[in-house]
Structure 1
Amino acid sequence: MAGQEVDDDALIEALQARAWDPGLRFDRADVPVAWIVERYGKSRLEQDRDDIVSYGSDGTVQLKAGAEEVTDYYADAPRGPLFPPISLSEVERAESRIGRRLPELLRRVYTEVANGGFGPDGGLASLTDGNRAPRHLRDWPCAASVHERNLSEGMPPSWLFLTYGGCTMEWHVSLTAVDNPVLLYDADSYTDPHNGLCHATASLRKWLATWAGGGDVWDEVL
């Protein structure tokens, strides 16, 4: 148990380091095209490369986190969470809505790292309502609110929404199974949620550690 606590301490520190870096807090980051052209030359974006995700209508290019341009552009950006950590009492209020206590590691994530707004794919959902990222037109997803909606649609009460995985895919954590596996679920046209299960990562700890270490949580799926 003591060893596990040490491991969790190290994991929390690794999550803080990545979640508080605006160039690394998600799997992708936006960089102004004009800045890249001025710094590296126009040919930089004309090269055959696999780390360009998309171009935005606002004059930015979305690159995979860790790309040289991302590292350079955000080198001097202020560090800190997108949404500050919440108090234990706020976690407990969310748990009352969810109907179950969260895993201790997830409690620490929300009280020591951030109230969501970082992590794989769309980024971890917040535990409280009313959070909105800069330049976003809608509030950030709230895990407690999504859970309440999911219950009304027949989802298992022990599944807690973590983040969207693209298209109709969602990541959930089991609040009751041993080690709290993280479940990849396809929400498209399934009457029984269990039929939509596509993959299960062995534990929440493994899923978070993969991302904190710069890995891709999809590598185990594909």
Structure 2
Amino acid sequence: MTDYGPLLARIAARAAEDDPMLPLDARPAPLSAADLDRAERELGFPLHPLLAAVYGTIANGGFGPDYQLLSLVSGPTGEQAVDVYKTKRHDAAGTAWAWPEAVLPILNWGCAMYACVDCRTDEGTVLLFEPNPGVPEMAWYVDAPSLESWFEGYVNRTGWWDRLEGGEDPDMPPWPDFNARR
């Protein structure tokens, strides 16, 4: 089992520097083990261990890159990750836009774009859902090969969102498993 303690401490320190979208008195507390278990039951799959540790030790969303992490369940952010996942799985079922199984949206970038964690991979591959080209096969990209590297990008201010602000083109490869996971 991976020891995420040092990374969690760095994420928490970086989160304290964020300009919160939520007022300080509305910042969510970490989730309890019971809340994490309930979320996994509702989803029908286990969270990636690092994602569970982030929600269970730092906060139930409200920090992170740009628009900040969604609350997992019953939190103060405008959307909750579990609800977004269930809605997307239901609403797009049987269509070319069918939402992939066990791909949990964790951050809404705006314009219908989401950062998502593939909870079926050991690494917790982070995917970018970008539907704006209008073609389902061109809507999924590998944002980061692992959730750990994605959070490292947040902590170190080297994520694609930071590089984009510096004028760099965030060249992301397409996600090859999209069709197999619908």
Aligning the two structures, in what range does the TM-score lie when normalised by the shorter sequence?
Answer: 0.7 to 0.9
What are the within-5 Å matches in structure 2 for residues 190-201 of structure 1? Answer: 190=134, 192=136, 194-201=137-144
2:69 match: 124
- Cα gap change, 1:81 to 1:216, in 2 (>3 Å): farther
Aligned length, in residue pairs: 157
Measure the CA separation in 2 of the matches of 1:105 and 1:111: 10
Measure the CA separation in 2 of the matches of 1:145 and 1:82: 19
TM-score (normalised: structure 1): 0.63
1:50 match: none
* Pair 1:114 & 2:59 matched: yes
Aligned equivalent of 1:19, options 12, 15, 22: 15
- CA contact 1:120–1:217 (8 Å) conserved in 2: no
Q: Deviations for 1:147-166, whole angstroms, at most 9, x for unmatched residues?
A: 11010122012210011123
Measure the CA separation in 2 of the matches of 1:25 and 1:108: 22
Q: Please give the secondary structure, in 2, of the residue aligned with 1:17.
A: helix
* Pair 1:221 & 2:145 matched: no
TM-score (normalised: structure 2): 0.76
Measure the CA separation in 1 of the matches of 2:111 and 2:36: 29
2:5 match: 9
Larger strand proportion of the pair: 1
Q: Please give the secondary structure, in 2, of the residue aligned with 1:20.
A: helix
* Pair 1:142 & 2:80 matched: yes
- CA contact 2:14–2:155 (8 Å) conserved in 1: yes
- CA contact 1:98–1:148 (8 Å) conserved in 2: yes
Unaligned runs of 5+ in 2: 93-97, 164-168, 172-182
Measure the CA separation in 1 of the matches of 2:7 and 2:160: 16
Unaligned runs of 5+ in 1: 30-77, 133-138
- Cα gap change, 1:215 to 1:191, in 2 (>3 Å): closer
Q: Deviations for 1:76-108, whole angstroms, at most 9, x for unmatched residues?
A: xx8x98211010110110111111000111111
- Deviation at residue 124 of structure 1 after TM alignment: 0.7
Q: Which has the larger radius of gyration?
A: 1
Measure the CA separation in 2 of the matches of 1:144 and 1:110: 13
Q: Please give the secondary structure, in 1, of the residue aligned with 2:34.
A: helix
- Cα gap change, 1:207 to 1:18, in 2 (>3 Å): same
- CA contact 2:88–2:99 (8 Å) conserved in 1: yes
Measure the CA separation in 2 of the matches of 1:118 and 1:25: 8
Measure the CA separation in 2 of the matches of 1:101 and 1:198: 22
- CA contact 1:169–1:186 (8 Å) conserved in 2: yes
